[in-house]
Homo-oligomer: A and B are copies of this chain.
Amino acid sequence: LNPATRLSQRQTVLEEVTAPISKPLDDAIGLLSSYMRNDVPFVDELLQHGNLLAGKRLRPVLLLLVAGSLGKIDQRHISLAAAIEMIHAATLVHDDILDGAQTRRHQPTIHEKWNNPTAVLLGDFLFSNAFYLASTTQCAKACELIGSATNLVCEGELLQLAATNHLNTSSDSYFDIISKKTGQLISCSTQLGTFFQQKADDESRWFELFADMESFGANLGIAFQIQDDILDIAGDAETTGKTLGTDLQNQKATLPIIHALDILSPEPRADLIRRLRNPNFENRRYIKSTLEQIGAIQFAKEQARIFSRRASDCLRNLPESECLVSLRLLTEFVTSRDC
């Protein structure tokens, strides 16, 4: 399939998934856009460019689908959907500095179009503005859930930074890092979607649902990140719209690499390490084809599907609804997507 067809397929899936929440999702994205404006022209320009870099809106979609599957969606869910997407945007702006990524969503990244200091400050502004937006729900618990998730996101990113250049990262460390840096914010979205839907008459069932939704997001986040890591090695830059191969460039050991180093015999293993240490174009192509040949990409895909199935299992206690159908479809899409 060519990139255009792939993108249009993805568009179709996303339209189907978001159909039951199209109105509140529009409201959340509208609210987000209104918070991505500023009276100061320079700040306004940065915010608007930052808004272009956002992608699939996975986190607000999940928050609203979970909320919609448990009851009526209200203004607090809409504000929190916008807030969680703004936190995500902040992490993207800062991640792009760390990774030296030049493009995202077919656009130059902030540090590339302006410079590193501008990207540091824009990310800070987005973090702060997200907490401000969350506080407009007048519920401190919203800031608490987002704050504790974002703490772990940063912890995961710091762990990942410390593991950079260490090709002997274990798969345990890998899963610890991705469950924090990606799983936490996705789990926070599904927790926030559940939070305001407590029925006074059925507290114990609600606590069970809250734990299910926390676990749903955590597993889905891990599946999502494994797939992202696969695409960074084996994906197509035009389809994904972002700089690929940055993990190899930055000597970040992701699951396919970790698995390959685990299973290869000493000689080809030493050869792979040599090429990983010098990730030029030729070596990156060789690494990709080696990982495909020895089944390391396939192994990582299977792992992603395991976590996606675990996520799916966490949906078992939700009542049948259009939102639930969408949650199932989205859980499937996370590991089948090629963009």
- The one of B40, B136, B137, B138 that contacts A158, using a Cβ cutoff of 8 Å: B40
Docked pose: A150 CA to B135 CA in angstroms: 13
Contacts A42-B159, A158-B121 given; does A143 touch B151 at CB 8 Å: no
Q: Which of A94, A139, A154, A159 has the most CB of B within 10 A?
A: A154
In the bound complex, do residue A128 and residue B140 qualify as a contact, i.e. CB atoms below 8 Å apart?
A: no
Check A207 for interface membership: any CB of B closer than 8 A.
no
Which residues of the partner chain B approach A141 to less than 8 Å between Cβ atoms?
A: 135, 138
Q: Tell me how far the C-beta of A152 lies from the nearest C-beta in chain B, rounded to whole angstroms.
A: 9
Check A268 for interface membership: any CB of B closer than 8 A.
no
In the bound complex, do residue A151 and residue B132 qualify as a contact, i.e. CB atoms below 8 Å apart?
A: yes
Which residues of the partner chain B approach A40 to less than 8 Å between Cβ atoms?
A: 155, 158-159
Which residues of the partner chain B approach A143 to less than 8 Å between Cβ atoms?
A: 131-132, 134-135, 140, 143
Check A263 for interface membership: any CB of B closer than 8 A.
no
In the bound complex, do residue A127 and residue B125 qualify as a contact, i.e. CB atoms below 8 Å apart?
A: no
* A interface residues, Cβ below 8 angstroms from B: 38, 40, 42-43, 46, 90-91, 94, 97-98, 116-118, 120-125, 127-129, 131-144, 146-148, 150-151, 153-155, 157-159, 161-162
In the bound complex, do residue B159 and residue A144 qualify as a contact, i.e. CB atoms below 8 Å apart?
A: no
In the bound complex, do residue A158 and residue B98 qualify as a contact, i.e. CB atoms below 8 Å apart?
A: no
In the bound complex, do residue B161 and residue A117 qualify as a contact, i.e. CB atoms below 8 Å apart?
A: yes
Which residues of the partner chain B approach A147 to less than 8 Å between Cβ atoms?
A: 128-129, 131-133, 135
In the bound complex, do residue A129 and residue B144 qualify as a contact, i.e. CB atoms below 8 Å apart?
A: no
Contacts A131-B131, A138-B140 given; does A155 touch B120 at CB 8 Å: no
Q: Tell me how far the C-beta of A328 lies from the nearest C-beta in chain B, rounded to whole angstroms.
A: 32
Q: Tell me how far the C-beta of A156 lies from the nearest C-beta in chain B, rounded to whole angstroms.
A: 10
Q: Which of A117, A144, A153 has the most CB of B within 10 A?
A: A117
Docked pose: A117 CA to B160 CA in angstroms: 11
- 26 inter-chain pairs at a CB distance below 8 angstroms, sorted by A residue, are A40-B158, A42-B159, A42-B162, A43-B155, A43-B158, A43-B159, A94-B120, A98-B121, A118-B158, A121-B158, A121-B161, A124-B124, A125-B151, A127-B127, A127-B128, A128-B150, A128-B154, A129-B151, A131-B143, A131-B146, A131-B147, A133-B147, A135-B140, A135-B144, A136-B140, A136-B144
Which residues of the partner chain B approach A148 to less than 8 Å between Cβ atoms?
A: 132
Contacts A140-B143, A143-B134, A144-B135 given; does A97 touch B120 at CB 8 Å: yes
Q: Tell me how far the C-beta of A114 lies from the nearest C-beta in chain B, rounded to whole angstroms.
A: 9
Which residues of the partner chain B approach A153 to less than 8 Å between Cβ atoms?
A: 128
In the bound complex, do residue A155 and residue B38 qualify as a contact, i.e. CB atoms below 8 Å apart?
A: yes
Docked pose: A219 CA to B136 CA in angstroms: 27
In the bound complex, do residue A125 and residue B158 qualify as a contact, i.e. CB atoms below 8 Å apart?
A: yes
- Closest residue of chain B to A160 (Cβ to Cβ) is B121
Q: Which of A40, A42, A135, A153 has the most CB of B within 10 A?
A: A135
Q: A121-B161, A134-B143 known; 16 other A-B pairs, CB under 8 Å?
A: A40-B158, A43-B158, A90-B124, A94-B120, A98-B117, A98-B121, A117-B161, A118-B161, A120-B120, A121-B158, A124-B124, A124-B154, A124-B157, A128-B147, A131-B150, A137-B140
Docked pose: A141 CA to B142 CA in angstroms: 12
- Closest residue of chain B to A118 (Cβ to Cβ) is B161
- The one of B42, B94, B122, B136 that contacts A121, using a Cβ cutoff of 8 Å: B94
